[in-house]
Structure 1
Amino acid sequence: MLRKLILSLTLLLAPVAALAQASPGDPVVLIKTSEGDITLRLYADKSPVTVENFLRYVDEGFYKGTIFHRVIPDFMIQGGGFLPDMSEKETGDAIVNESRNRLHNTRGTIAMARTDDPDSATAQFFINVRNNMRLDWMPGRDGYAVFGEVINGMSVVDYIVTAPTQAMNGQQDVPVEPIEILDVVRQ
């Protein structure tokens, strides 16, 4: 009975995406931050364009020296596009939105940030710190494409989201002390 209760609680607390079958060839990347390391499993089979795009930025060293520039408690942390002085890095072309991939914006998943244009994602990403199903695709509404999940380091994500924030250079929710992405590398 106790084993069933523990198993039930574990399943309730696990991200929905984590319950999806992982493929042996799923890429794994390590985000090294000034606050600790975050390891991600990427779902190349469910979000091939998004994963290829993200890995291109990883391989080019694009994320090195960028920051988590948007931190909102009980929502998400966003990074991958700004330097500590809040200047925006130049990116490549936008990619098609893969939010119809049946992956959900649940706690611990990583998704692409974009503007109001569904096909505007380039390099910026966010990690959900809670279930944000309202960001999923629905008929008549484009969502935010989930393309992986945190498999180690969620405690680092939870710590980052508690950072005091301020408005800076026209952006809201910017950490007072920069939270730097030191590097992102394949594992």
Structure 2
Amino acid sequence: MARIKPQQLLMQSKKKKGPSRTSIPAILIGALFALFLVLSLMGTYRHWHNRPKSQEGMGLANFERSDLTTQTKKPSVPKYAIIETGKGAITMELYKDATSDVVEKFLELCKKGHFKGMLFHHVIKNYVIQGGDSQGDPAPQDWILNGKNRAKVTTSPKHEAFMIGTTKLNPNRKGFDLFITTAPIPDLNEKLLIFGRVIKGEDVVQEIEEVDTDEHYKPKSPVGIVDISLKQDL
């Protein structure tokens, strides 16, 4: 058997270890994978790059909606009125839901200072205290006195003491009568609109009730309202 020379063995070994050719499918798969990786990186970059802008836009939209809500929200209506009199302060709670028209008229006049210096021109013990603009009108005095006489025989009062009301609004009248009951009054439903009640200062109401009056129930010494202030909370 012929011996193979070492130089020939080395040449055969180099031929066997030569690089093998890469198939076309493998090349395509690698290219697709690289393309997918690049697209994924680009999508991630765009997402994080645009995120602050979108958040700012959302914040602006929320601010605009909040600002619009604030602008359209109606101002709150005062819940209390503090009547400063020559005898002290009377705090009243407003019944705004029951007689909204009357309360709105009362609040409007308070803001205009309408009640400053207004006198209580009828003070009837165990009945009512009346102040307002109808001093020259005999009708309120007539129904007050007649109502007081009828009240003696009535057993089912509908109005409690320390309620605050006014005569039913007349579109032709610009004034506003203010009544504070000092006892349960049964016969005033057709004449009075109750729009509040005294929650503090009942002793002041009673002190006004005790002033000396003439035969027409008019105080001999003037006593009246110094001013009325409006409060949302006490």
User: TM-score, length-normalised on structure 2?
Assistant: 0.52
Question: Hey, what's the Cα distance between the residues in 1 that align with 2:128 and 2:214?
Answer: 16
More strand by share: 1
How large is the Cα RMSD of the aligned pairs? Answer: 2.8
Relative distance call for 1:132 and 1:87 in structure 2 (3 A) is: closer
Query: In structure 2, what is the equivalent of residue 13 of structure 1?
Result: none
- Partner of 2:197, secondary structure, is strand
Relative distance call for 1:65 and 1:25 in structure 2 (3 A) is: closer
Query: In structure 1, what is the equivalent of residue 211 of structure 2?
Result: 163
CA deviations 1:22-58 (Å, max 9, x no partner) are xx96620010001010000011100101101111111
- Partner of 2:116, secondary structure, is coil
What displacement does 1:134 show?
Answer: 1.7
Counterpart residue identity of residue 107, structure 1: A
Question: Hey, what's the Cα distance between the residues in 2 that align with 1:36 and 1:128?
Answer: 17
- Kept in 1: contact 2:132–2:175 (CA 8 A): no
Aligned length: 136
What displacement does 1:72 show?
Answer: 0.2
- Partner of 1:50, secondary structure, is helix
- Kept in 2: contact 1:65–1:180 (CA 8 A): yes
Relative distance call for 1:87 and 1:60 in structure 2 (3 A) is: farther
Which runs of no fewer than 5 residues in structure 1 stay unpaired?
Answer: 1-23, 89-103, 137-141
Question: Hey, what's the Cα distance between the residues in 1 that align with 2:119 and 2:136?
Answer: 11
What displacement does 1:106 show?
Answer: 1.2
1:153 to 201, 207, 215: 201
User: TM-score, length-normalised on structure 1?
Assistant: 0.65
More helix by share: 2
- Kept in 2: contact 1:113–1:121 (CA 8 A): no
1:128 aligns with 2:176: no
What displacement does 1:180 show?
Answer: 2.2
Stretches of 4+ aligned residues off by more than 3 angstroms: 119-122
Percent of residue pairs bearing the same amino acid type? 30
Counterpart residue identity of residue 124, structure 1: D
Question: Hey, what's the Cα distance between the residues in 1 that align with 2:207 and 2:99?
Answer: 28
2:222 to 167, 178, 184: 178
Query: In structure 1, what is the equivalent of residue 130 of structure 2?
Result: 78
Query: In structure 2, what is the equivalent of residue 57 of structure 1?
Result: 109
Question: Hey, what's the Cα distance between the residues in 2 that align with 1:147 and 1:120?
Answer: 18
What displacement does 1:122 show?
Answer: 3.8
Which runs of no fewer than 5 residues in structure 2 stay unpaired?
Answer: 1-75, 138-157
What displacement does 1:165 show?
Answer: 0.6
Question: Hey, what's the Cα distance between the residues in 2 that align with 1:32 and 1:80?
Answer: 15
What displacement does 1:152 show?
Answer: 0.4
The structure having more radius of gyration, on CA atoms, is 2
CA deviations 1:134-160 (Å, max 9, x no partner) are 212xxxxx2411100001001100110
Query: In structure 2, what is the equivalent of residue 106 of structure 1?
Result: 160
Relative distance call for 1:146 and 1:158 in structure 2 (3 A) is: same
